[in-house]
Structure 1
Amino acid sequence: MVSNGVSLAAGAVLGEMIAEFMLVNMVTLKHVEVLEYVSSRSGMRVFLMEYESPIVNSYYIFPTRAENHEGLPHTLEHLIFLGSALYPERGTLDLLASRAIATGTNAWTDVDHTVYTISTAGLEGSLKMMPVYLDHLLRPTLTQDAFITDVHRVTPDGMNSGTVYCEMKNHENSADSITNFELMHLLYLSESGYSMVHGGRLEALRRTTNERVREYHRRYYRLDNMSIALGGRLGDRAAILKAVAHAEAGLISSGVETHPVDAANYFGIKHWDDPVHCPPLDETSHSTVYFPSDDEEVGQFTMAWRGPKWDEFELCRAISLLGLYLTHTPISPMEQALVYTKDPFGSGVVFSHEILKDGHFTINVQDVPCNPSKLDTIESRIRELLLEVFDNPLDMQRLRALILRECMAHYRSLETSPAEVLVDGVISYVIYGSDRKDLDEQLEGNGQMSSLLEKDEEYWKGILWQYFIDAPWVTVTTLPSIEESERIERFEQSLISQQLEASDLDFLREQEERVELIFSNKSGSVPPHVMEAFGLVDVSKIQPTAWPYMRNFTSIGYGHDGGRVLQGRVQLFNEHGGSIPVSNWSSLVSDLYSLHILMQVNHIASDFVRISVVIPTSHLGLSHMEKQSLTLLCALLFQSDFGEGLGPSMPADILIRQLQEYTSSYSANLGFNSTFGNPDGFCELIQLSMTCHLSNYERVFYLLQRVLRDVRFTPTIISSRVSSLLKSFKKKGRSAKSIVRQASQAMRLRRDSALMSNGLGQQLEYLHYAEESDMTELLQGLYYKLFSQGNMVAHVTCDLTQMPDSWLRGWSVFSGSDAMDRTLRELMGLRSGADAQPNDVNGVFMSMASTDVSFLSFVIPAPLGHLHPEYALLCVLSEYLCMMESPLFRAIRGGGFAYNYSVSYSPNLGELHLSLQQAVDVLGALRATREVFAQMATGHLLTDSDVLSACCSLIYSIIEDEETLSEYSYQTFQDAFRGVGSDFTATLLTQVRQVGVYDLRVLSQKYLTEYLSFGGSHRTIAVVTNKSQADEVHTGLSKMGYGTLFRTTARNLLGFASRGVFQELDLYNSDGSESDDDDELMDTDIDNSDADMDSSEHDGSD
């Protein structure tokens, strides 16, 4: 691996010493190198992870363990950021981080560790931030002021506030949190650290103290319990280690305690060796728990077993693979029997394996109807299925294909998300590892997979019997409950009264005045000399990625896209970019010129090929129902039969087998970043994507051709998929975030637009209709209409030096457009803002039993398009408002009003969005927001230093969008749909650097003042709150000038989104159940069916 001409490991020898750091471990995985060093002075460990990326990721790792439910690891994580011995002013860490070309800092707490992160554009910023970060980590101030703002306090009106409290209130009564809490107690018993809620239970958060946090810090935040991992283009390891050693020496000289170690044999402090944390599970047990809900239609069922020990690597892999064999894809035994059947038990079956000191694994059936025929039999049915699998021959071909696919997916992830993959293995090794070879086993484990490929059926059945069938298990049935929601509502009301009675009101008022002072920007800010001493990373040294690509279409106009026109309409971009330039483009140019289909080809260093085909729909004159059918059609494309055509007929189960065998991922989606029920601004496009190893390109290309030509829908498969999707909608219908999003869209967009047609409300009604009707003819006709057109555009990302000869000529079978001289946006029928249609209703207010917090969405008009003169300015304004320790951040999150918020600009829709999320005091959050906006609009708050920080932070975000070569390739393709040239990123970076205080002041006067009043169809507000606060919040909004908000229910809102009338939809199945789900991907690769889609690698397990 070469970075800037220097190999990280060049000349490295185990045992070498650099600045008192000993090299104790080296691991190489394909293009990635990982080196482990240990400080003999302190025991601190440093991991250097070298891979190709302009972003350098830093991770500061502390193995931690919760000892009760107070959430001390989590509360400490929040307080760390609020000041240190050398930098006592709140916000210093994040403001300096922006000057290091980062978007601030972040952290997460898990059951066995806490990790602090910062990602910078280039190595310089990471090294500049290291001593500042370490001072915060090991010498934090941990003041009482920080505790009452960011952990917990009681307000003068008896409410509970604080950032951590907001966060946990949003989680504690969710179905998943309730399930996990009960599950861990059953699996590990009450004395184990694994059974403790590391985030904190609300009752315990209300009684914890700052001194408890300080004491926890003293015991866990030590140099000999700390590791640093850096990943990206690193280069000279000696320079990095000397910088770490310098920071370490500064800490030691400041009094941080050290414990010299034998570096060669030091593995850190082990917090989980006490047997109390992993008691044996001796007997089977069952539990039923309830979560608050407005209905009692569907719940979930979880079955769990204890797994192998952490260092039984091959066995851990085997159990994970066996779990996939049982539950992965519609052809797996459990999906076939429980989901893809006439009377399904649920919408999906998910296997998960948590690898701890002693791990556990679960099978979860989602969205189980709450009727006895399902709830009383589901456990026995799963047991029957396990025994059936054991008693019958295993499908060894499928099992081996799964193993190979997991290997492919792992190596693919090293290209698309190397930082996440590597740091996960490093963290696990730091916590539990006791041998140097454990790191290699965690990061690659190639020997494990090779060994497992050789295992016979007896081996696999032995594991199935020992761990799934013969071992004790636990079950948790999680049910929705109206009574539980009413109980929580009564409790919250009584808690306010109790807290007021038990508190000194004068003290509470004084405390609140102190909080207001802290966030009034008058109680102290980062001194200018601190900012000046830190300096600014030289942005000019940071170069965006620029690898070559070629296309036979135009985004702006031939000769204006930024590429070199080679032959006819074929253009070459970044001809000399990339470390592996393609020397002879002539044959590729000729082949690309001769193609009829529109195509872009990106050359990157990769062992994989990623193929995408985008199909427009807007110019086809689709009926409203055909538009509503697009989501279902996408869900069926990779799960349906092939008729005779390009090959013989093929049943769906064979297709799925071949997809699993030859691809690392595959998907069919609306737009570029859609989730099920929440389409994006490009949802008038359908995108099919497939990723495979280079050796499988021809097989996968053949399958893609057949998906585009030979799909034949059948009533059985359609019915099964519709039933599954309907059941999965229950989660989305209970999601306050989803409801407020749908409400906001329903007030602004045409109901017959593709975006609304595939949104939550209309999909609920459409799928109910589809369940009762034969949709075969409609879907088949829509399929022919979509895929027989010539306006498709393809994108291939690969290493061109490794592709087969004449690979491009196979694409000649596809027809093309008759108007090749038009831009891609014109050919695709894309028109920014075309779906906008103001409604008579411009404000709605709802309350839901399924949420303990509030959500608000406030949308105003903004310029359309990425080339508008104000585009860069609005991006900087949004970044300024959202960056860590901005005035708005301090007012909302710092004030404890809400856990999250955002201000985002959508150029494709022409909108500026204000979103308040997970708010325990939405009125306070809105008041604080209005105050900040009013001050900015009158020229206050904005400073040169803060605006510079915002510009630097935005520069990082722009570069991060192209962090890996795969992401870079995808961005260049998306740019064509945005209607911008190849120099868009470079031009935007230049424009951002030029933004100043005056620009944002003018912009604030023009746009932020729109949020200070309400009225007119051009502004919309949607609010969802919990039932216990509904009347108070609604009254408060009226007093603030929002009295015209129409008060309704979530179900009536869905009716409005579907029909334009606030009326509950008739969505009941024959069993009386209603249907919905949260953010399921419109992704037919079951790997990621309920994960968030990455905007650049969005096809399944990528």
Structure 2
Amino acid sequence: MAPAERPKPRFRKIQSFDTDYAPCNITQYVSERSGMQVIIADRQGPKVNGYFTLATEIFDDSGAPHTLEHLVFMGSKNYQYKGLLDKLSSRAYSGTNAWTATDHTAYTLESAGWDGFAQILPVYLEHVILPVITDEACTTEVHHIDGEGNDAGVVYSEMQAVQSRSGEIADLAAKRLLYPENVGFRYETGGMTDALRNLTIDRIRDFHRAMYQPRNLAVIIVGETNHDNLLEILDEFEESIKDDIPALDAEFKRPWIDSAQPPALKETKMTTVEFPESDESVGEVLVGWFGPNCTDALATSALNVLQTYLCGSSVSVLENILVEREELASSVACWWESRPNSVIYFQPTGVATEKLESVYKRMIELLKDVVSKPFDMDYMRSCIQRERRQVKFQAESSESFFSNNLIMDYLFGDRNGETLRDMKTLDEYDTLEKWTDEQWRAFTSKWIVDAPHVAVLAKPSEALATKLKTDEEKRLAARKEKLGPDGLAKLAKKLEEAKAKNDLPIPAEVIDRWPVPGTESIHFIESETARSGKARSLGVQDNKTQKIIDGASQGQLPLFIQFESVPSNFVHMSIYLGTAQIPTAVKPLLPIFSDNFFNTPIMRDGAKVDFEQVVMELEEETISYGLRSTKDMGDPDSITIQFQIEPEKYASIIRWVRTMMFDSVFDVQRLKAGVQKQLADIPEMKRDGRSMSSEVSMAFHTKKESYSASKRALVRAVYLRRIKKLLETDPDEVVSWFEQIRKSLFTFDNMRVLVTADVGKLADPVAAWDVLGDALGPVREVAPIIKPHNHLTSEGLAPGSVGAVIVPMTTVDSSYSVSTTKGITSFEDPRLPAILVAIGYLEAVEGPLWNAVRGQGMAYGVYFGRDLDSGLLQFKVYRSPDASKAVAAAHDAIRRIAEAEVPIDRHLKEGAISQVVVVFADEQSTMASAASQNFVLGVVRGVPLDWHKKIMRSVRDVTDDEIRAVLKSLVLPVFEAGKSNVVVTCAPILEENIEKAFKENGYKTQVQPLAHFHDDYGLKPKDGEEEEEEEEEDDEEDGSGDEYTDESDSD
């Protein structure tokens, strides 16, 4: 008997269309039995990214939406094992993650290739729709009180770390002013700590029951998708859950759309809030208006263009006056948030505390002035055209462009697909190009100038920092006294029982039901390499692109140029420059030089052209441009000048390169403005515990001559203050230092060029560079790229003598740490495959470190540094209630594996090997990144272009003994006194216990204020002019034992 014919999947295609501005097809389906939507953006590349999105609305600060983002991963109805989803994903070349926004929760599945994605999809969706929400999972993931009476839990620790940040406080204050209590946008969906302490499991379950229904779920996929296979999988999934979900005709209110909408603001409201900070010099201003419906494509595109016109660059009105001319702020940020009534925000940053109100009023005054007279319609048209170019560019090059737009449309658009069709074209920009001055002024008046708004002035307060610390100490002391030893012992037992229940081992036969997929469906983007000039010394290939380059005019200048040919509509141009030749004494000026590079006057035909004109001309000819560090290319000590342009602008932009290198003018007023902007940003940077722990660690391990050391905030905090005074007293000397930097950077032997394009479309790809000619100086061999390990100090070459350094910071509620030991120095080190697998094994979701640290509520995350050839191996703790405990737990877990007390899990190892493939897919996820990776391999690292293919083969052969060997020889020393150094930034209340713990583990210890690590690079104040100011700062920091925090490794 023939098998019964499989019924057709019950998904109806709503629509399918190609976008006319990027190679992408968008298809929308809906399930006729559950209401689930499926929206696919088909585009080529190795990555398939899923965003399983639920509209989530709540009317309190309990944090229930955020807790589900974590609890979903703890097991589901048919897969009742914590960690199963992530173990399966890692073996299937995939990774999972999630985020909670005010209006939605999105669960992500990023896969290399369709086969891995398809294997994990139904298991993942069951976790989302039918999770097992247990008391034990809530204990560890949400909130618990540990055996010492302290609050912990993954969600609690995460929110504790951000709740006192200035930006969070200002944002919440603005929400409270904009929205009444019956509107969900008013609330902190991440959860306030006092509410999280009282959140019940029943409240979480009720929220899941209400919101996590298939008819409130969109399966959004971006990447190469097998539609028939997808619909079959989803049909089978729906069949498996049909008895567990509400009927499609049951009552259901669509979040945000069927809910109460916020009333219009009747009047402008202003409030002042405080945030804890010992440096009371700089605060924040946040101003918000209600805007148009986010699904109105014309109005929101007009809003994007208007924000570009008002504060998109140094020539736009608000930036030009508030930042460049009046030096009242370091920048003016602007954005809008997608909602049925969108919210338009303007935020002057780096504002002196005493000027917060006056800067806010000045900004409002400037906005009124804008509409009181005609717009600069030439500049407005330039903004419209540039905005359109940027949208096209993002659609081709950004992985998030389509997902962001599809999520927004699902949340707030028409479910029948009407609003989604707006993504087919960019016709709205044609309409905007026809708008008159009167229309633009009317639009600006309607939404901003004539509309009431809310304003939040956020002031730093040392008194509040002290009060919060004291109140927290009293609260915890009272709790401990109330609980007593018996109560604390019961809590400790409850926690251990919860951990034991959560961490039940997954039987091997369960995981083996899913085989490791093949790699056939992973379609890597191929970029064809060609070289000219001095780059030919690296070797040339026999391919079509090399023939095009060889057949083109070679010109007079044998510049080092590598071409990468991809089928792109755009040109990515990078001029790669080493910084080694810059004298160390002036190297801290390089961040100012970088900011000033495109924002400075030039000489043209003997006449000076103002910087505003320069910026306007550059914006007309480019999609984007900038100068930044090459840290993400594996070289922290070089910089790159970058342009994204259309092919017909190729020769013109090369002429601009010459102009900005050699015809620019170091204008004293521009330099003053640049210094003032960066000084205003320093306090904010010094509030970040994560980045400060890295900066202090760098002070011990990295030579001052390196760019990465010289650009630290802890250097600029002092150096730039003295430069500011020198620009008043001896500007010629400062200008001469900038000239030194120019002469050091722009030489023939210090320049390498990367051009990524459809090379056949370029006119004169090589000879066009002749315009640089004699200005670059004599033709010489190109200077070698200095490897990171050559910048290590004697301590960096053999860490261990410093010990543990604890830096208390009032702006931090938790702790961060960086542990450093000796590492490898080459990507061709024979141990590298074993290191990659070993670290991947340790860091796996639901792997050894996850279970030992995050799963125990000891930190939000722990991980190893990724600079594998730096000569250092670093272990980092992120957002921990006590970093010393997180380090100790990680040490014990790794030691037990290294010493074979714990066997190496075969499935985790398979996952670690698969994740190496995922990393390479990530590095080549777009045409530009695939091309850049060829440059990184061949030029920066000096390894063959097929290096990653060799590594992918090698990691499959790594043995368990090789993993244990590298754990013993390379990884365990990072936890051992005498072989490693540790830097911890922490809340002052944690300082004593953390120092005690490291001392007990054999480390020498010292406690220092952040100011102890300031470095002036030998630039001393003249005639004692700065002593008083510095003494005040030192007294303040020594007295409070505080300091500053934040997370970026800034360029």
TM-score, with length taken from structure 2: 0.92
State yes or no: 1:395 paired with 2:385. Answer: no
Provide the rounded CA distance (Å) in 1 between the counterparts of 2:401 and 2:499.
Answer: 38
1:835 maps to: 792
Question: Structure 1's 901 and 638: CA in aligned 2 closer, same or farther, altered over 3 A?
Answer: same
Contact 2:137–2:502 (8 Å) recurs in 1: no
State yes or no: 1:684 paired with 2:637. Answer: yes
* Aligned counterparts, 1:889-968, within 5 A: 889-941=850-902, 942-968=904-930
* Aligned counterparts, 1:691-840, within 5 A: 691-773=644-726, 774=731, 775-804=734-763, 806-814=764-772, 827-830=784-787, 832-838=789-795
Which piece of structure 1 moves more, 981-990 or 832-841?
832-841
Which piece of structure 1 moves more, 481-490 or 18-27?
18-27
Of all paired residues, the percent bearing the same amino acid is: 23
Alignment deviations for residues 432-488 of structure 1 (CA, whole Å, 9 cap, x no partner): 112645444663561221111110000111122222221111110001101111111
State yes or no: 1:1000 paired with 2:963. Answer: yes
1:572 maps to: 541
* Aligned counterparts, 1:1016-1031, within 5 A: 1019-1031=980-992
Provide the rounded CA distance (Å) in 2 between the counterparts of 1:522 and 1:44.
Answer: 31
Secondary structure class of the residue paired with 1:615: strand
1:1050 maps to: 1010
Question: Structure 1's 690 and 672: CA in aligned 2 closer, same or farther, altered over 3 A?
Answer: farther
State yes or no: 1:202 paired with 2:163. Answer: no
Secondary structure class of the residue paired with 1:689: strand
Secondary structure class of the residue paired with 2:620: helix
Aligned partner (choices 53, 65, 68) of residue 60 of structure 2: 68
Question: Structure 1's 285 and 994: CA in aligned 2 closer, same or farther, altered over 3 A?
Answer: same
Question: Structure 1's 988 and 338: CA in aligned 2 closer, same or farther, altered over 3 A?
Answer: same
Which piece of structure 1 moves more, 813-822 or 529-538?
813-822
Alignment deviations for residues 858-881 of structure 1 (CA, whole Å, 9 cap, x no partner): 011011011111122212222222
Provide the rounded CA distance (Å) in 2 between the counterparts of 1:927 and 1:726.
Answer: 38
1:105 maps to: 96
> Per-residue deviation at 1:322?
1.6
Provide the rounded CA distance (Å) in 1 between the counterparts of 2:15 and 2:1008.
Answer: 62
Question: Structure 1's 516 and 995: CA in aligned 2 closer, same or farther, altered over 3 A?
Answer: farther
Secondary structure class of the residue paired with 2:855: coil
State yes or no: 1:617 paired with 2:579. Answer: yes
2:3 maps to: none
* Aligned counterparts, 1:292-441, within 5 A: 292-341=276-325, 343-371=326-354, 374-417=355-398, 419-434=399-414, 436=416, 438-440=418-420
Q: Give the letter aligned to residue 861 of structure 2.
A: N
> Per-residue deviation at 1:203?
0.6
Contact 1:170–1:851 (8 Å) recurs in 2: yes
> Per-residue deviation at 1:505?
5.7
Provide the rounded CA distance (Å) in 2 between the counterparts of 1:393 and 1:502.
Answer: 69
Question: Structure 1's 277 and 1058: CA in aligned 2 closer, same or farther, altered over 3 A?
Answer: farther
Contact 1:270–1:431 (8 Å) recurs in 2: no
> Per-residue deviation at 1:88?
0.7
Question: Structure 1's 18 and 358: CA in aligned 2 closer, same or farther, altered over 3 A?
Answer: farther
> Per-residue deviation at 1:72?
0.7
1:878 maps to: 839
1:165 maps to: 156
2:25 maps to: 33
Secondary structure class of the residue paired with 2:686: helix
Contact 1:101–1:120 (8 Å) recurs in 2: yes
Provide the rounded CA distance (Å) in 2 between the counterparts of 1:1080 and 1:948.
Answer: 32
Which piece of structure 1 moves more, 110-119 or 784-793?
784-793
Question: Structure 1's 643 and 855: CA in aligned 2 closer, same or farther, altered over 3 A?
Answer: same
Q: Structure 1 unaligned segments of length 5 or more: list them.
A: 1-16, 562-568, 576-580, 674-679, 1083-1091, 1094-1102
Aligned length: 1020
State yes or no: 1:669 paired with 2:659. Answer: no
Secondary structure class of the residue paired with 1:1024: strand
TM-score, with length taken from structure 1: 0.88
Alignment deviations for residues 675-723 of structure 1 (CA, whole Å, 9 cap, x no partner): xxxxx96243221011112233333232122122211211111111111
Provide the rounded CA distance (Å) in 1 between the counterparts of 2:81 and 2:993.
Answer: 36
Question: Structure 1's 156 and 390: CA in aligned 2 closer, same or farther, altered over 3 A?
Answer: same
Alignment deviations for residues 185-241 of structure 1 (CA, whole Å, 9 cap, x no partner): 10112331000111001110000011111111111111111110122122x422221
Contact 1:74–1:199 (8 Å) recurs in 2: yes
Provide the rounded CA distance (Å) in 2 between the counterparts of 1:919 and 1:592.
Answer: 57
Contact 1:905–1:911 (8 Å) recurs in 2: no
2:444 maps to: 464
* Aligned counterparts, 1:852-863, within 5 A: 852-863=813-824
> Per-residue deviation at 1:667?
0.8
Provide the rounded CA distance (Å) in 2 between the counterparts of 1:700 and 1:617.
Answer: 23
Contact 1:188–1:277 (8 Å) recurs in 2: no
Aligned partner (choices 125, 128, 143) of residue 116 of structure 2: 125
Aligned partner (choices 212, 218, 224) of residue 233 of structure 1: 224
Question: Structure 1's 927 and 180: CA in aligned 2 closer, same or farther, altered over 3 A?
Answer: same
Provide the rounded CA distance (Å) in 1 between the counterparts of 2:110 and 2:13.
Answer: 24
1:627 maps to: 587
> Per-residue deviation at 1:164?
0.1
Question: Structure 1's 339 and 1070: CA in aligned 2 closer, same or farther, altered over 3 A?
Answer: farther
Question: Structure 1's 544 and 313: CA in aligned 2 closer, same or farther, altered over 3 A?
Answer: closer
Provide the rounded CA distance (Å) in 1 between the counterparts of 2:71 and 2:793.
Answer: 44
Provide the rounded CA distance (Å) in 1 between the counterparts of 2:638 and 2:959.
Answer: 38
Alignment deviations for residues 486-538 of structure 1 (CA, whole Å, 9 cap, x no partner): 11101211221333355486465344335446657995211111111011111
2:248 maps to: 259
Quick check: which one's helix share is greater? Answer: 2
Secondary structure class of the residue paired with 1:838: helix
> Per-residue deviation at 1:552?
3.3
Alignment deviations for residues 759-802 of structure 1 (CA, whole Å, 9 cap, x no partner): 22222222112211222122123213321444311111111233
State yes or no: 1:983 paired with 2:946. Answer: yes
Aligned partner (choices 269, 283, 301) of residue 267 of structure 2: 283
1:676 maps to: none
Q: Give the letter aligned to residue 224 of structure 2.
A: R
* Aligned counterparts, 1:511-530, within 5 A: 511-516=491-496, 523-530=503-510
* Aligned counterparts, 1:469-618, within 5 A: 469-503=449-483, 506=486, 508-516=488-496, 523-539=503-519, 542=522, 544-552=524-532, 571-572=540-541, 575=543, 585-586=547-548, 588-591=550-553, 595-618=557-580
1:1097 maps to: none
Provide the rounded CA distance (Å) in 2 between the counterparts of 1:876 and 1:521.
Answer: 29
2:238 maps to: 248
State yes or no: 1:20 paired with 2:10. Answer: yes
Contact 1:18–1:238 (8 Å) recurs in 2: no
Which piece of structure 1 moves more, 448-457 or 512-521?
512-521
Provide the rounded CA distance (Å) in 1 between the counterparts of 2:835 and 2:57.
Answer: 43
Secondary structure class of the residue paired with 2:87: helix
Which piece of structure 1 moves more, 224-233 or 276-285?
276-285
Contact 1:73–1:198 (8 Å) recurs in 2: yes
